Amino acid sequence: MTDHDTIPVLAHGLVKRFGDFVAVDRINLEARTGEVVGFLGPNGSGKSTTIRMLCGLLRPSAGQALVAGFDVAREPEQVRRRIGYMSQKFSLYNDLRVIENIRFFAGMYDVPASLLNERTQWVLDMAGLAGRESTITGTLPGGWKQRLALGCAVLHRPSILFLDEPTSGVDPISRRRFWELIHAMADEGVTVLVTTHYMDEAEYCNRLVLIFQGRIVAAGSPTELKQQAMTGELLLIECDQLGLALDVLQQVPGARDVALFGNALHVVVPDGQTSIPRLRDALSAHGVAVSRIEPIRASLEDVFVSLTARLSDRRT
């Protein structure tokens, strides 16, 4: 178990290169006991690579990471004893029965024989699989498989849990239930690092780290991020000819971060009162019929669009 004064996850200047490609570029990271830290970023941004380095699965090209106080590059075995890891694939053996998967991973994690029954029961209860011990794992629905995978990853009661897109391909109700489990564990002092690209899930995290092109572009609580990033006012525009409207809005001076959200557009402007008429005029001049323009509260998705758009502009 981790000492109370060690920071469970601490990374400094972490770099991972694959040939010429820099997947993770000097990332600094800290997660405190009982914290749920969310890694947010598009596919290929380096989230998974970072998590896999922290688990000791990948060797960092440069920089240092301490997990549970141990250096991941030098003492990966020590790190592994103290962490749980679950990937988006729910890596269980589909041809084994539920109970056989549990016993297998209990064996791999050296769960003492005296605790085996208790832990097995705990996992079965948590996953809601009591009574289905002898079901072949492959025949379970996604949500159940996901909870079983989580159970198998925490059989040894790790103090740190890494989850790599744990909810991909799972229905919304199962996702909600999964997050309840995560929070229950965090309440018991488990530190959780989770990657996701579901923006609504990000709201469940205590702290968010936004990664883009291998770099951390913002970090903070969901509320902090929204305040920090959204300088200006966010407007919702409902109109026809969305594609044309998008082009038009991008040409209006002052308007930025224009993005499509469902069947509406979001745009950030310095000041709503003066901008709304200007936008409306610009759109109708191009024959776009506007049914609604009004200021709304920013969601994390807006924050993300806004931050990554600025970065892309700078790089190109």
Partner 1 sequence: MLRRLRGMLVKEFIQVFRDTRTRTLLFAPPIIQMLIFGYAATLEVRHIPVAALDYDNSQVSRELLSRFTASPYFDVRAYLNDRREIGDLIDRGEVTVALQINGGFAQDLRKGQPARLQVIVDSSNSNTALVAVGYINQIAARYAQEFQRTQLLRTSLFASSQIPSIVLERRPLFNINFDSQWFFVPGVIGNLILVMVVSLTAFAIVREREIGTLEQIMVTPIGRLEFILGKTLPFFLIGLFDTALVSLVGTFWFGVPFRGSIGVLAIGSILFILCMLGIGLFISTISRTQQQAMVSGFFFNMPAITFSGFGTPISSMPEWLQTLTYLNPLRYFLEILRGVYLKGVGLDVLWPQMVGMGLLGSIMLAISVARFQKSLD
Q: Closest distance between partner 1 and the C-beta of residue 114, in Å?
A: 13
Q: Which is nearer to partner 1, 94 or 284 (CB)?
A: 94
| Helix (H) or strand (E) segment spanning residue 272 | helix 272-285
Q: Closest distance between partner 1 and the C-beta of residue 3, in Å?
A: 20
Pull the structure tokens for residue 237. 């525009």
Q: Which is nearer to partner 1, 8 or 222 (CB)?
A: 8
**C-alpha count within 13 angstroms, C-beta hemisphere, residue 266:** 20
Residue 145: closest CA among 155, 159, 135: 135
- How many whole angstroms from its chain centre is CA 255? 29
Q: Which is nearer to partner 1, 32 or 89 (CB)?
A: 89
Q: Which is nearer to partner 1, 31 or 86 (CB)?
A: 86
Q: Closest distance between partner 1 and the C-beta of residue 68, in Å?
A: 13
Q: Which is nearer to partner 1, 156 or 266 (CB)?
A: 156
Q: Which is nearer to partner 1, 91 or 284 (CB)?
A: 91
Q: Closest distance between partner 1 and the C-beta of residue 76, in Å?
A: 9
**Residues found near partner 1 in the complex (CB under 8 A):** 52, 55-59, 77, 80-81, 83, 85-87, 89, 91-96, 100, 103-110, 153
Q: Closest distance between partner 1 and the C-beta of residue 149, in Å?
A: 8
Pull the structure tokens for residue 248. 């038009």
Residue 181: closest CA among 228, 127, 233: 127
- DSSP state letter for 138: G
Query: CA angle 223-227-233, nearest 5°?
Result: 130
Q: Closest distance between partner 1 and the C-beta of residue 198, in Å?
A: 20
Q: Closest distance between partner 1 and the C-beta of residue 233, in Å?
A: 44
Q: Which is nearer to partner 1, 54 or 237 (CB)?
A: 54
User: Which residues of 172-308 form beta strands (DSSP E)?
Assistant: 191-196, 207-212, 215-220, 233-239, 256-261, 264-269, 290-296
Strands 233-239 and 290-296: antiparallel
Packed helices 113-127 and 142-153: angle between N→C axes, nearest 10 degrees: 150
